[in-house]
Structure 1
């Protein structure tokens, strides 16, 4: 299982790449491996929408289960990666290259609640992975 060192991680298995005030969000290798083969992806928000940490950003369905993708930070959605709706295979094959959306963070303090790579690796190990 890959865990890039330059990202932040949530307890609900989203990754965040910080670019200034922008948070680029996707799901982790652990999350995609638990879901297995992705068969459907749907955004639950639109660009321009203000969102709160913990809210639902998208739904991912696989042959095994359905899961919500949650916002690890609060802010305004500035971009959706629409290509993921039709080309969701990358979620399984390249989870850290397949981003879902960008959020302009309203509170950079939200990042303090996220884990670094070492903490996330330990968190995954505690869950048996």
Structure 2
């Protein structure tokens, strides 16, 4: 299973990447897509929407189940990935490349409260037992 070291993670299986311009790109983890199976539908949040950390903001639906996606940190949505809405299976091909939305964080330091790759790996392993 792929857990890139340059990303931060949530206990609800979202990844967050700090971009050079200070924005944060968000998607679901490889582990999450693996549990859900073949993606058939993705709904991203509207650009301009203000999100609180932990707020339900998007939906992924697979042949097995629908699942909410939560904002890892507070901020304003500045981009939504229409390509992943048009082709949800992109998440199954590469969950860490198929981003869902980008936000401008209220406080970039909030990323420090998320899990690093090692902590996320430990979480995934603890859930498997």
* TM-score normalized with structure 1 length: 0.94
> Are residue 74 (structure 1) and residue 90 (structure 2) matched?
no
> Are residue 109 (structure 1) and residue 109 (structure 2) matched?
yes
- Looking at structure 1, the residues matched to 67 and 123 of structure 2 have their Cα atoms a distance apart, in angstroms, of 19
Runs of 4+ in 1 over 2 A off after TM superposition: none
- 1:49 positional shift: 1.5
Partner of 2:33: 32
- 1:21 positional shift: 2.3
Partner of 1:42: 43
> Are residue 89 (structure 1) and residue 89 (structure 2) matched?
yes
RMSD: 1.2
In the comparison of the two structures, how many residue pairs are matched?
A: 128
Structure 2: stretches of 5+ with no match in the other structure? none
Structure 1: stretches of 5+ with no match in the other structure? none
- 1:112 positional shift: 2.1
- Secondary structure of 2:6 counterpart: coil
